[in-house]
C-alpha cells in the first residue's frame, strides 16, 4: 500500500481541536502521505492546497468511506468532536462500526483511536460514548489491529481544561475550593498526545493494543495552584467543607467560556475520571514508546501560556463543535424571513484595508461604540444556557473558517470579498451576519430565519438594539480602515 515509500494515512474530521494539530504534524512528516476526509474542501481553508489527498462527502455514505479508505495503511478515527444535537449523537453511535468495516474491506492495517480511561461504571454519557467507540473499533482483532489510547483531560492552549483553569485563576484573586476540586484526575499535555498518536503509525504489526497515557493524576486545586505560579499570579485558596455541586456549574459558566450544559458536563467528567487513579497505569506506554516522556503539568501549562502570548494558538476546543460551511447553506440563508441591510461607500480606501477592519471585530477589539450592548446580549445568552460572548477569539490578528468570534462562528471567509458569520447564541431560530465588498461598497446584512412565534418575537425585540449597533458597525469599520496608512 505504501506509495513511493510513504505510509498512507487517513485522517477524518481534521478540523477538531486535536485533529487540526495532528493534521499539521502529519503534513510535516516526509514519510507520510496524508489523506483527509472532510464534508467539503472549502471547510479546510488554507490547508486545502497543501493536503495531498482530500476526499469530500458525508462520512455516513458508504461510497465516500470506500473512497476514503482505499489504499490506506493507517486510519485515525475522528479525534474527539463535541456535539449535543440529536443528529450528531445518532451519527456517533452508528459510525464506529461502519468505519471499522470500511477499513477492513479496504485492507487497512491499523486503526488508531484516542479514547478515555475505562471504569467499571461510566456514569457520564460522553465517556460512555468513547468507550462504545473503542469497543466497536476493536471488536474484530482477527481482521484489523486497533491501537486504543486511553487518557484523561488534554492540556494545551485553547483546550477545555486550560480555558477553565486560566479563566478561574485570572478572574478570582481568592479561590474557594469545594470538595470536588480535590478530585484527582488523569491529565496529559496536548503535545504529548500528538507524539503518541503519530508514534502509533510506526508500531510493528501485531494484535490490538490498549495503551493508557498521561502523567500522575492531579486535583483541580493543584492544577489551579500550578497555573497561578506559571502565570506569576498570587492566589489564595480557601478549602470548603462542601461539594457545592449544585451551584458549581453556574459559577463555572460565569467564570469561563462554557455554557451551562458544558460546565455541568465538565464537572461530571471530572467526577467520573476521579475514580480512575487506582487503575491508572502507563507501563505499556513506556514499553511501546520509550522515547516519549510526558511533560510535567507546569511545563505543559507554560507551553500553552506562551502560545497564547505569542498568538500561536493552532486550535481551540470550539473547533470540536461540528458546524462547518454546508453546500445548502446559501439556499438556507436565501430563505431567511427577516433582513437588515446596510450599505456604505468606501471610495478612496483600498478594499484590503476594509476587509482587514472587518476581520478585526470582536474579541479585545470589541464592537465599536455600542460594544456594551453586545456584551449585554452575550450575558443574556449565557443566562439562557448559551456560550455568551466570553469565548472571545482564537487570535486577535488572525481569523479563519471555523473560528468562534464572541457570539458568532466563522462559516465562510473569502479574502477581500466576504465574511459570513453564523450566530453561536440562542436566537429563536437561525441567524447570520454577512459582510461583502462589491466594488467600492461595503454591504452588511443581518439575516434571521425564525422558528415559530417565539423566533419572530425575538427578531422584533432586537430591533431597538439593531437601530444602534448596525449603522454604527458599518461606519466604524470604514472609519477604522481609513485610518490605516
Cα–Cα distance between 218 and 221 in angstroms, integer? 8
Position 180 confidence tier, pLDDT thresholds 50, 70, 90: confident
| Structural domain includes residue 401 | yes
| Structural domain includes residue 367 | yes
Provide the percentage of residues in the chain whose pLDDT is more than 90.
54
User: What pLDDT, on a 0 to 100 scale, did the predictor assign at position 378?
Assistant: 83
User: What pLDDT, on a 0 to 100 scale, did the predictor assign at position 275?
Assistant: 67
| Structural domain includes residue 247 | no
* Residue 416 domain boundaries: 326-483
User: What pLDDT, on a 0 to 100 scale, did the predictor assign at position 352?
Assistant: 94
pLDDT tens digits, 98-124? 999 999 999 999 999 998 776 555 566
Phi/psi of residue 262, each to 5°?
-65, -35
* SS3 of residue 377 by DSSP: helix
| Structural domain includes residue 387 | yes
User: What pLDDT, on a 0 to 100 scale, did the predictor assign at position 319?
Assistant: 82
Query: In this model, does residue 91 exceed pLDDT 80?
Result: no
**E strand or H helix at 405:** strand 404-405
Cα–Cα distance between 156 and 192 in angstroms, integer? 10
User: What pLDDT, on a 0 to 100 scale, did the predictor assign at position 96?
Assistant: 92
pTM above 0.95, yes or no: no
Q: Find the CATH number of the domain harbouring 384.
A: 3.30.530.20
Cα–Cα distance between 217 and 404 in angstroms, integer? 31
> In terms of pLDDT, which residue wins out, 375 or 32?
32
User: Got the DSSP string for 323-346?
Assistant: ----TTHHHHHHT-SEEEEEEEE-
Domain count, the chain: 1
Q: Which residue has the cell 516519549?
A: 292
**E strand or H helix at 251:** helix 248-255
Query: In this model, does residue 185 exceed pLDDT 90?
Result: no
| Structural domain includes residue 393 | yes
Burial 178-213 (b: 16+ CB within 10 A, else e): bebbebbbbbbbbbbbbbbbbbbbebeeeebbebbb
Query: In this model, does residue 64 exceed pLDDT 90?
Result: yes
User: What pLDDT, on a 0 to 100 scale, did the predictor assign at position 317?
Assistant: 84
User: What pLDDT, on a 0 to 100 scale, did the predictor assign at position 321?
Assistant: 73
Query: In this model, does residue 426 exceed pLDDT 90?
Result: no
User: What pLDDT, on a 0 to 100 scale, did the predictor assign at position 132?
Assistant: 84
**Mean pLDDT, range 167-188, rounded to an integer:** 91
| Structural domain includes residue 153 | no
| Structural domain includes residue 164 | no
Position 354 confidence tier, pLDDT thresholds 50, 70, 90: very high
Query: In this model, does residue 267 exceed pLDDT 90?
Result: no
Query: In this model, does residue 452 exceed pLDDT 70?
Result: yes
| Structural domain includes residue 39 | no
User: Got the DSSP string for 166-203?
Assistant: HHHHHH-SEEEE-GGGG-EEEEEEHHHHHHHHHHGGGP
Amino acid at each position: 500500500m505504501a506509495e513511493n515509500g510513504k505510509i498512507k494515512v487517513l485522517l477524518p474530521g481534521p478540523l477538531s481541536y486535536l485533529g487540526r494539530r495532528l493534521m499539521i504534524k502529519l503534513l510535516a512528516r516526509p514519510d507520510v502521505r496524508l489523506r483527509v476526509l472532510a464534508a467539503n474542501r472549502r471547510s479546510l481553508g488554507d490547508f486545502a492546497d497543501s493536503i495531498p489527498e482530500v476526499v469530500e462527502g458525508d462520512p455516513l455514505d458508504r461510497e465516500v468511506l470506500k473512497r476514503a479508505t482505499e489504499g490506506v495503511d493507517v486510519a485515525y478515527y475522528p479525534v474527539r468532536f463535541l456535539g449535543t444535537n440529536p443528529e450528531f449523537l445518532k451519527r456517533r453511535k452508528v459510525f464506529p462500526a461502519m468505519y471499522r468495516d470500511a477499513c477492513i474491506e479496504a485492507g487497512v492495517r491499523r486503526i488508531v483511536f484516542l479514547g478515555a480511561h475505562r471504569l467499571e461504571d461510566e456514569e457520564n454519557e460522553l465517556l460512555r460514548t468513547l468507550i462504545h467507540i473503542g469497543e466497536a473499533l476493536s471488536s474484530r482483532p482477527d481482521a484489523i489491529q486497533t491501537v486504543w489510547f486511553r487518557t484523561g483531560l488534554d492540556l494545551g492552549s485553547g483546550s477545555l481544561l486550560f480555558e477553565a483553569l486560566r479563566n478561574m485563576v485570572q478572574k478570582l484573586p481568592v479561590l474557594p475550593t469545594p470538595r470536588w476540586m480535590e478530585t484527582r484526575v488523569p491529565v496529559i499535555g496536548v503535545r504529548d498526545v500528538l507524539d503518541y498518536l503519530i508514534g502509533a503509525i510506526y508500531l510493528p504489526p501485531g494484535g490490538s493494543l490498549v495503551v493508557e497515557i498521561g502523567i500522575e493524576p492531579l486535583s483541580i486545586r493543584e492544577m489551579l495552584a500550578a497555573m497561578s505560579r506559571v502565570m506569576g499570579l498570587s492566589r489564595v485558596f480557601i478549602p470548603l467543607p462542601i461539594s457545592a455541586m449544585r451551584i458549581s456549574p453556574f459559577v463555572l459558566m460565569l467564570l469561563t467560556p462554557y455554557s451551562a450544559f458544558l460546565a455541568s458536563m465538565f464537572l461530571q467528567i471530572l467526577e467520573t475520571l476521579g475514580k480512575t487513579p487506582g487503575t491508572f497505569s502507563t507501563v505499556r506506554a513506556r514499553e511501546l514508546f520509550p522515547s516519549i516522556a510526558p511533560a510535567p503539568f507546569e511545563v505543559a501549562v507554560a507551553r500553552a501560556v506562551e502560545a497564547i502570548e505569542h498568538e500561536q494558538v493552532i486550535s481551540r476546543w470550539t473547533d470540536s463543535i461540528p458546524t462547518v460551511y454546508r453546500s445548502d447553506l446559501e439556499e438556507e440563508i436565501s430563505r431567511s424571513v427577516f433582513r437588515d441591510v446596510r450599505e456604505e461607500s468606501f471610495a478612496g480606501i483600498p478594499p484590503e484595508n476594509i476587509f482587514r477592519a472587518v476581520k478585526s471585530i470582536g474579541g479585545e477589539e470589541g464592537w465599536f461604540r455600542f460594544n456594551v450592548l453586545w456584551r449585554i446580549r452575550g450575558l443574556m445568552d449565557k443566562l439562557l444556557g448559551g456560550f455568551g460572548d466570553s469565548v472571545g477569539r482564537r487570535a486577535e490578528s488572525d481569523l479563519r473558517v471555523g473560528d468562534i468570534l464572541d457570539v458568532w462562528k466563522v462559516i465562510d471567509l473569502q479574502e477581500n470579498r466576504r465574511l459570513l458569520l453564523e450566530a453561536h447564541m440562542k436566537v429563536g431560530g437561525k441567524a447570520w451576519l454577512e459582510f461583502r465588498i462589491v466594488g467600492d461598497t461595503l454591504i452588511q446584512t443581518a439575516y434571521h430565519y425564525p422558528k415559530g412565534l417565539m423566533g419572530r418575537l425575538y427578531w422584533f425585540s432586537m430591533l431597538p438594539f439593531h437601530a444602534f449597533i448596525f449603522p454604527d458597525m458599518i461606519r466604524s469599520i470604514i472609519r477604522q480602515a481609513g485610518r490605516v496608512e
